[in-house]
Chain A
Amino acid sequence: MLRVENIVKYYGENKAVDHLSFEVENGEIFGLLGENGAGKTTTFRIIMGLLEASSGDVFLDGKKIDYSVTDQIGYVTEERSLLTKMTVKEQIIFYGVLKGMKEEDILEELKKWLKEFQIEGYENRKIKELSKGNQQKIQFISAVIHHPKLLILDEPFTGLDPINVELMKKAIYRLQKEGCSIIFSSHQMEHIENFCEKLIILVKGKAIVDGYVGDIKKEYKKKNIVLRGENLPIDAIEKIPGVISVSKKNNEYELKISEESVASKVFAKIKNKKITKYDVTEPTLNEIFIEKVGGVHE
């Protein structure tokens, strides 16, 4: 289990991480969201021990982070961290040995992973000769070759096509089942929504949203209504207090309402019309993110 306790990080006068605390249980996938410069990478670097926190501590299975612990962490950086002149085999051996593995074990694991990612026979190819997607797969393999207890994934799907995204997702779920704690960061909210049970949204280093994804959505007052029907009184609906906006997409209307109670007022206006669809939905994570992050900027 990873425990981040009240970490603060200053760069000069600038506070990059502001009293951040969270826990990631074994076998849990945790999302760390935030716009560019929100402090995600700084947090990852502190967890990896690459940066010293100005205050606060990080523990993995109750042990403070040091070189005896970092062997149990895998890290997929946002930008590719591969030595492009090496072959796939050399690269994986290089990172594997640094993680404390033996060469023969690394080669055995590598074979399995290459098969799983459908790139068998790539051992002796130079990294620079691989496509972006395949480089990303190699980077992922280099981070998990040692079966880490904690896996940090910073934008892991960059450069992957949908088929390969599915392959990697499958691999991540497998690691989760093995009990690996996973911290996940992505700008693509649907990935976070599908993957993570818990998340934090960071703004200027501070957690402004924190908790289980389901709870966050439930607690978020604003809802959406999707409407389809004939002769709908859109002008009247727009005037109902609590209706924030109405937009038309194909032959459907999407209403944003300030709270769930407004839904009944909308329904009252249309109940006598010929309605083929009336659906009250929870907001997407993307909407929550934009509002929370945008709200801080205003």
Chain B
Amino acid sequence: MSSKFWFLTKQSLKKKVHSKWFVIVNILLAISIIALINIQSIITFFGGDFNQSTEVFVIDLTEVSFPIFKESIQQLMNDEKDQSGEIIVKNTEKTEQEWEKSLESNQVLIVFLEDSDFYVKAKMISKEKIDNNTYQYLLQGLNATKMSVSLMKENMDAEVLSAISAPINCERVVLDEKKSVDENMELIMSTVFPTLILPFFMLIIFLVQMIGGEICEEKTTRSMEIIISNVSPKVHLLSKIVASNLFIIGQGILLVLYAIIGFFLGTKGQGFAVSSGVDSLLSTLMEAGFLDKLLHFIPSAFIIMILSFLAYSLVAGILASMTTNMEDFQQIQTPIMLILLLGYYLAIMAGMFEGSSFIKVLSYVPFLSCFISPSLYMMGQIGIIDIMISIVLLIGFIFFLLKYGLRIYKIGILNYSNEKIWSRFAKAIKSKDDSKTPF
């Protein structure tokens, strides 16, 4: 019997992998993921108004502002490796009236004027609306110039100014080690975690569809009768589950691989650079201890993930056995999709409702635990013990599905009628003596 089990598993897996759709979907996935990771570089590569250089002409009536302003802008441009266009600051001898007649769309005129109350004031003239990033840089440069000119006029030296404007050095100490999570983590969780669990969410949807589709196909073509006359329903279902889970895990590894290729291309390949957004996000994550925590969490996350795959596969198989065609399966699987969505949203919302008892209780519930538990753990709202409770409950739930769900599966896969379907399945669940059945 075990050779037939492996044969069915191999056939099922082969059917999925040797399909042209598998190749096409993976090519599309690889392109999408690599493109998504390097989206900023791609946009910049193709260019546009956003990366045009801007010429800034300065009429300095204060006689001290121009060099300070020029240096401030250069400093800002060096600090922010942004994809915006270059800002070139030049002094000009032409008058304001002359410039007003000749200003072009990529040119800005700044006039520094003396001000008796506020030391220095400025006027910014452009032909049309300036790109938002450029405008922000110019404003920052102007403020920095005003500050420096003001201090100079008040005879204050640069070191004092630097000390005044530097952020406070605050040492953060949390006495409870279990909850020693950076406060930034909650903010990060609401943005990063949904992205991290999105592939998992997608893989479960694939899994449910795949198992259901395959069982429905075998039922509708009546080949199920031939298969079940040679292998038991249990062997049949388990072979489908093993094949689909292996496929899903493989697909998950491929997704990670595409992401790694994306990062690799971003850093090494063809002069592209990882976007400053991703770069700064990664460093923020490192600082917040996210990656460190993630590494500690990986073993239990892996267990909860595999067990959840199993639970979802079992339910998908059992539901598919109850239906008589693909349309019925599409309808009956809707609750699974809703549960998946609920888990996904609760994982995102966990960051907004810190310490929510409701979300914490739901983090133990099988089907939801795979989304919520990791999220709560990463935010320091639950500990590893809570994760263990979720795992134990999940194992219990799988055992329950194997014990009672298989009875439904056995009756369901050879049933082609919707008549009295629920009473038939209820009877199947209640049937205690399995030994009476032929297999």
- A interface residues, Cβ below 8 angstroms from B: 12, 45, 48-52, 65-67, 70-71, 73, 75, 77, 79-84, 94-95, 97-100, 142
Chosen A-B contacts, 15 in total, with CB atoms closer than 8 Å, are A45-B225, A49-B438, A52-B437, A52-B438, A67-B230, A77-B222, A80-B221, A81-B222, A81-B223, A94-B11, A95-B226, A98-B4, A98-B7, A98-B226, A142-B226
B225 pairs with A98, CB closer than 8 A: no
Q: What's the minimum C-beta distance from A173 to chain B, rounded to whole angstroms? A: 24
B223 pairs with A70, CB closer than 8 A: no
B223 pairs with A48, CB closer than 8 A: no
Interface residues as binary, B399-428 with A (CB distance below 8 Å gives 1, 0 otherwise): 000000000000000100000100000000
B223 pairs with A50, CB closer than 8 A: no
Q: Which of B1, B4, B228 contacts A97 (CB 8 A)?
A: B4
A98 pairs with B438, CB closer than 8 A: no
A50 pairs with B222, CB closer than 8 A: no
Q: What's the minimum C-beta distance from A130 to chain B, rounded to whole angstroms? A: 14
B231 pairs with A79, CB closer than 8 A: no
A83 pairs with B229, CB closer than 8 A: no
Interface centre among B218, B223, B414 (most CB of A within 10 A): B223
- Is B439 in the interface zone, CB < 8 Å from A? yes
9 pairs of A and B residues whose beta carbons are closest in the complex? A81-B222, A98-B230, A49-B438, A48-B229, A81-B223, A52-B437, A79-B222, A70-B229, A81-B226
Q: What's the minimum C-beta distance from A204 to chain B, rounded to whole angstroms? A: 18
- Is B217 in the interface zone, CB < 8 Å from A? yes
- Is B143 in the interface zone, CB < 8 Å from A? no
B226 pairs with A51, CB closer than 8 A: no
Nearest residue (CB) in B for A46 is: B438
Q: What's the minimum C-beta distance from A244 to chain B, rounded to whole angstroms? A: 41
- Is B436 in the interface zone, CB < 8 Å from A? yes
B229 pairs with A50, CB closer than 8 A: yes
Nearest residue (CB) in B for A53 is: B438
Q: Which of B7, B221, B230, B437 contacts A81 (CB 8 A)?
A: B221
Q: What's the minimum C-beta distance from B232 to chain A, rounded to whole angstroms? A: 7
Docked complex Cα distance between A1 and B8 (Å): 30
Q: What's the minimum C-beta distance from B367 to chain A, rounded to whole angstroms? A: 31
Q: What's the minimum C-beta distance from B382 to chain A, rounded to whole angstroms? A: 46
Contact A66:B439 (CB < 8 A) given known A12-B420, A81-B226, A97-B4: yes
Nearest residue (CB) in A for B436 is: A52
Which of B221-252 touch A at CB < 8 Å?
Answer: 221-232
Docked complex Cα distance between A95 and B4 (Å): 11
Nearest residue (CB) in A for B231 is: A98
Nearest residue (CB) in A for B8 is: A98
Nearest residue (CB) in A for B4 is: A98
Q: Which residues from chain A contact B437 at a C-beta distance below 8 Å?
A: 52
- B interface residues, Cβ below 8 angstroms from A: 1, 4, 7-8, 11, 217-218, 221-232, 414, 420, 436-439
Docked complex Cα distance between A70 and B235 (Å): 15
Q: Dominant SS at the A interface? A: loop
B438 pairs with A66, CB closer than 8 A: yes
Q: Which residues from chain A contact B221 at a C-beta distance below 8 Å?
A: 80-84
Docked complex Cα distance between A157 and B7 (Å): 31
Nearest residue (CB) in B for A93 is: B11
Docked complex Cα distance between A100 and B226 (Å): 13
Docked complex Cα distance between A82 and B221 (Å): 6
Docked complex Cα distance between A95 and B225 (Å): 11
Docked complex Cα distance between A36 and B331 (Å): 31
Nearest residue (CB) in A for B230 is: A98
Q: What's the minimum C-beta distance from B326 to chain A, rounded to whole angstroms? A: 14
Docked complex Cα distance between A82 and B11 (Å): 15
Docked complex Cα distance between A71 and B225 (Å): 14
Docked complex Cα distance between A70 and B230 (Å): 6
Nearest residue (CB) in B for A152 is: B229
Q: Which residues from chain B contact A80 at a C-beta distance below 8 Å?
A: 221-222
Docked complex Cα distance between A99 and B226 (Å): 10
Docked complex Cα distance between A66 and B437 (Å): 10
B225 pairs with A67, CB closer than 8 A: no
Contact A73:B229 (CB < 8 A) given known A12-B420, A67-B439, A83-B217: yes
Q: Which of A45, A51, A79, A99 contacts B230 (CB 8 A)?
A: A99
Docked complex Cα distance between A84 and B223 (Å): 10
Q: Which residues from chain B contact A83 at a C-beta distance below 8 Å?
A: 217-218, 221, 223
Docked complex Cα distance between A95 and B226 (Å): 8
Docked complex Cα distance between A94 and B225 (Å): 14
Q: Which residues from chain A contact B231 at a C-beta distance below 8 Å?
A: 67, 98
A51 pairs with B223, CB closer than 8 A: no
Q: Which residues from chain B contact A84 at a C-beta distance below 8 Å?
A: 221
Q: Which of B1, B11, B420 contacts A67 (CB 8 A)?
A: B1
Interface centre among B229, B230, B436 (most CB of A within 10 A): B229
Docked complex Cα distance between A81 and B226 (Å): 7
Q: What's the minimum C-beta distance from B343 to chain A, rounded to whole angstroms? A: 33
Q: What's the minimum C-beta distance from B417 to chain A, rounded to whole angstroms? A: 10
Q: What's the minimum C-beta distance from A107 to chain B, rounded to whole angstroms? A: 16
Contact A65:B438 (CB < 8 A) given known A12-B420, A98-B227: yes
Q: Which residues from chain B contact A75 at a C-beta distance below 8 Å?
A: 225-226, 229
Q: Which residues from chain B contact A82 at a C-beta distance below 8 Å?
A: 221, 223
Nearest residue (CB) in A for B417 is: A11
